Amino acid sequence: MKTAEPIKLHLACGTNVVKGKGWTNVDNNSDHNIKKGQLDLDWDLRKPLPYKDDSVDKIFHEHFIEHLPKAQGEAFLHDCYRVLEPGGSMRIGWPDTAKMIRAYVTHNKKYFNYVSKHVDGGMLFGTWDELLVDFLYSWQHRYGYTRKHLKQLLLHIGFKDAKYKKYRQSDYGFDIDARNDPATTYIEVIK
């Protein structure tokens, strides 16, 4: 008898569509940069995921949660919890506000050089104070999470065993991180 393949959701995949590893690549192409036919599911993640309770094996998303306003972000994470099966895992990567603040306080050059290249519209003065505010308002971000805050929220929702992880280091076999940069933090949790 054929057993069903585990469901693995790569949410808000953007152009980082992963083929051949069993991932369902989901996005609503709001940045209009994903080629036609690349997505496995065109879906607005402000709506509940089209999956049954306790039916999904793995969920991965990076550089997405901060694109939702606070309440929508919380609702989205609740829905991730709903669809995950008990023991299922989720990995999140996001631009960690705590890393920005630490870099601001210590004037971390590597951090500055990386983030300053990516702020919307470029920088006028190239100062740390400009970068701090550009970080908060660039890239159509609607909210920000320090690592402690996101961990607290995930545990509050019911996830367990929250662990911060390095790029491509995973307890659950996640191997599709695309963000090996000084701004990103990864966290893993299970249901």
Ligand X SMILES: C[S@@+](CC[C@H](N)C(=O)[O-])C[C@H]1O[C@@H](n2cnc3c(N)ncnc32)[C@H](O)[C@@H]1O
List interacting residues with ligand X (CB under 6 A).
12-14, 16, 27-31, 44-46, 62-64, 67, 178-179
| Nearest residue to the partner ligand X, using Cβ | 14
Of the pair 122, 126, the CB lying nearest ligand X is at: 122
Q: Which residues contact 64 (CB under 8 A, 6 or more apart)?
A: 11, 12, 45, 94
Q: Identify any residues that bridge with 185 across adjacent strands, giving them in sequence order.
A: 94
CB of 167 to ligand X, least distance (A): 12
Could you tell me the smallest distance in angstroms from the CB atom of residue 123 to ligand X? 19
* Cα separation values, 107 from 116, 131, 173, 183, Å: 13, 11, 35, 14
Tell me how far, at minimum, the Cβ of 3 lies from ligand X, in Å: 30
From the number of C-beta atoms within 10 Å of its C-beta (0-12, 13-18, 19+), residue 13 rates as: buried
Q: Which is nearer to ligand X, 58 or 63 (CB)?
A: 63
Which residue number, 30 or 169, has a Cβ lying nearer to ligand X?
A: 30
Minimal distance, residue 149 CB to ligand X, in Å: 19
Asked if 88 contacts 59 with a C-beta cutoff of 8 angstroms, the reply is yes
